[in-house]
Amino acid sequence: MALQQVTSNVFTDITCRGCNFGFLTTSDGIVMFDSPHKPSDAMALKAELARRGELRYIINTEPHGDHWTGNSFFDVPVIAHEGVRRRILETDLEQHVQRTASFGPDEPQYMEGYQFNAPAITFENGMTLRVGDHTIQIIHMPGHTAYQAAICIKEEGVVWTSDNVFNKVQSFLQECSPDQWLTAVESLRRLDEEIFVPGHGEICGKEYLDEQGSYIQEWKDYVWNAVERGMSKEDAIYSLTNLTERYPMEAAHQDAAAVMRMNVANLHDYLTGNWVPSNPQAPPAR
Ligand SMILES: [Zn+2]
């Protein structure tokens, strides 16, 4: 772990496998934002938090496993969108344990007896949480998935944006509505807070939103162009590869070509009227 101080009371780690998790220290305990993907990182974070106070809540920003797998290593209630709760409970536990245990030699020991820590407190449009002297405003912001939320830490001027922002690393569009995502980018722009902890990549500010928005638009135009030429989904998946190299993958284990295929598959469905909200595309086998 490599903890980075964002403001006087907000900390994050952007170096670990998975999302940018972090926490807020208040006068009445700690609130965590997302959780580590790797169990050993969760254990290290747990030890770190124990030195700083009592953990009160975890808030998850979205339904992907790299944001919530680590919830289970903390004995506190989780807060998230109702759809995040549903997606966690629909996850195949055995497969999830096997996959997470494969992250490294230290991981299997922590996955024995693993159970989901699914959100016990859920919202649809948003909610406000007050802990100690801090106000945390949670806003539903569909885009990258149907269940994204932005978490605004009012007194600190910080937002956990979820994967609606990938700062200079490859964006995953495997189940997004590009139009909702563009709306989310504009919603983020209108927030009072100026410091963004993105889902992935380095801490940024509103200046990055233009780039994020134009990349989503570029993806949409790129696949639309193929749809207009009458290209089938199968053909599009294997012939549209131009955007693979635009940004680096965040981590070495990620396969840029597979992500590209998932993104194309989803956008082809979206642009041809075959899209089902929050139905993530599995990497197509060939
Ligand atoms: Zn995600």
Domains contained in the chain, number: 1
- Ligand 1 centroid distance, CA of 229 (Å): 30
- Ligand 1 centroid distance, CA of 163 (Å): 5
Domain contains 252? no
User: Tell me, what CATH number does 177's domain have?
Assistant: 3.60.15.10
- Ligand 1 centroid distance, CA of 165 (Å): 10
Alpha-carbon gap, residue 151 to 160, rounded angstroms: 5
The reported pLDDT for the residue numbered 283 is 57
The reported pLDDT for the residue numbered 286 is 39
Domain contains 234? no
- Give buried/exposed letters for 30-66 (b at 16+ CB in 10 A, else e): bbbbbbbbbbbbbbbbbeebeeeeebbbbbbbbbbbb
Domain contains 143? yes
Domain contains 244? no
- Ligand 1 centroid distance, CA of 227 (Å): 26
Domain contains 91? yes
- Ligand 1 centroid distance, CA of 234 (Å): 24
Q: What residue type is assigned to position 158 of the chain?
A: V
Domain contains 164? yes
- Ligand 1 centroid distance, CA of 63 (Å): 7
The reported pLDDT for the residue numbered 281 is 74
The reported pLDDT for the residue numbered 285 is 44
Closest of 88, 81, 19, 74 to residue 45, by C-alpha: 74
- Ligand 1 centroid distance, CA of 144 (Å): 7
pTM of the model as a whole: 0.95
- Ligand 1 centroid distance, CA of 156 (Å): 24
Q: Do strands 21-26 and 134-140 pair parallel, antiparallel, or not at all (unpaired)? A: unpaired
- Ligand 1 centroid distance, CA of 199 (Å): 7
Give the domain range for residue 125: 4-207
Domain contains 217? no
- Ligand 1 centroid distance, CA of 198 (Å): 11
Segments of the chain with pLDDT less than 50: 284-286
Domain contains 114? yes
